[in-house]
């Protein structure tokens, strides 16, 4: 079955960097667009970034532009999020999620279980 | 406007019908997608496109839209439908925008 497993979260000081990974299995990773979505404690969902199946398109939320970089390695079935210059307001559970359909931007799912990033001194 | 506004909370009696809305300018040119999130769990996709349900989603869930407003209807709500529901849409730049979320309580 489809599995998305995030890793790399933890406690980090403001201004430092962190790299999240998402290991995908159970489907042909290389034909699906992928997203990172975050959720601050007790808050709603906030889309962070998207990468197309072929890496040709990358989109970022304004809050992520210039600080976060989304990438993927289709040979390793893995999605990444490099986060630099982290701020307290970046504290959230970060979810990896797949476009529902291949080569299509209509609906996001399934989602991983998330990895918690806490930015604190 | 680049926001998607949802009612903060709605309640529904067991077995009755509830409708929740999502409003925003981006909905004039793209369909809303709907997600269900239960406490401590990741969201799951319930409606995408015009009114499509992924496999495993009960047919009591349906979506519709008119102008800048999209709606999710649960017909015959069950106790397990109690959750937070989020809409989203994609803007012309390919960015995804989530709504503010609606907490559904089944009485």
- DSSP for B37-97? E-TTS--EEEEBTTTB--TTS-TTEEEEEETTEEEEEESS--GGG-EEEEEEEE-TTS-EE
CA A35, CA A33: separation in Å to the nearest integer?
7
Calculate the alpha carbon distances from A5 to A77, A81, A95, B53, B56 in Å.
11, 13, 9, 24, 21
Spatial distance between the Cα atoms of B21 and B65, rounded to a whole number of angstroms: 9
Query: Which has more pLDDT, B95 or A35?
Result: A35
* pLDDT > 80? residue B25: yes
Question: Which tokens belong to A85?
Answer: 């210059």
d(CA B50, CA A15): 43
B89 touches chain A (CB under 8 A): no
Of the two residues B28 and B93, the one the predictor is more confident about is: B28
Given this model, what pLDDT does residue B93 score?
A: 77
pLDDT-derived band of residue B92, with 50, 70 and 90 as boundaries?
confident
User: CA of B88, closest CA in chain A: separation in Å?
Assistant: 8
Q: Which of A59, A107, A114 to mutate to test the interface with B (most CBs of B within 10 A)?
A: A107
Q: Which residues contact B69 (CB under 8 A, 6 or more apart)?
A: B21, B22, B23, B27
Which range of B21-30, B66-75, B83-92 scores highest in mean pLDDT? It is B66-75
pLDDT in tens, A39-51: 999 999 999 999 9
Beta bridge partner(s), residue B51: none
**Cβ contact (<8 Å) for B45 and A35?**
no
- Would an 8 Å CB–CB cutoff place B73 in contact with chain A? no
Q: Which of A45, A55, A114 to mutate to test the interface with B (most CBs of B within 10 A)?
A: A45
Question: How far apart, in whole angstroms, are the C-alpha atoms of residue A14 and residue A66?
Answer: 16
Sheet containing strand A68-73, edge to edge, reads A3-7, A18-25, A78-83, A68-73
Nearest to A47 among B54, B97, B101 (CB): B97
A84 SS3 class = coil
């Amino acid at each position: 079955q489809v599995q998305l497993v995030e890793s790399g979260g933890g406690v980090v000081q403001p201004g430092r960097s962190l790299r999240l990974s998402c290991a995908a299995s159970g489907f042909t990773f290389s034909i699906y667009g992928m997203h990172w979505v975050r959720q601050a404690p007790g808050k709603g969902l906030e889309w962070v970034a998207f990468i197309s199946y072929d890496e040709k398109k990358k989109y970022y939320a304004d809050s992520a532009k210039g600080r976060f970089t989304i990438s993927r390695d289709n040979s390793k079935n893995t999605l990444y999020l490099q986060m630099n210059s982290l701020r307290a307001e970046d504290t959230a559970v970060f979810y990896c999620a797949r476009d529902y359909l291949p080569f299509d931007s209509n609906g996001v799912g399934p989602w991983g279980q998330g990895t918690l990033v806490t930015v604190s001194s | 406007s680049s926001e998607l506004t949802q009612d903060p909370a709605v309640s529904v009696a067991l077995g009755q019908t509830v409708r929740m809305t999502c409003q925003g300018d981006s909905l004039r040119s793209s369909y809303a997608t709907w997600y269900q999130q239960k406490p401590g769990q990741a969201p799951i996709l319930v409606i995408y496109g015009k009114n499509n349900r992924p496999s495993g989603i009960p047919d009591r869930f349906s979506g519709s839209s008119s102008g800048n407003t999209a709606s999710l209807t649960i017909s015959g709500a069950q106790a397990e439908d109690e959750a937070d529901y989020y809409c989203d849409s994609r803007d012309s730049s390919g960015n995804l925008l989530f709504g503010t979320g609606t907490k559904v309580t089944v009485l």
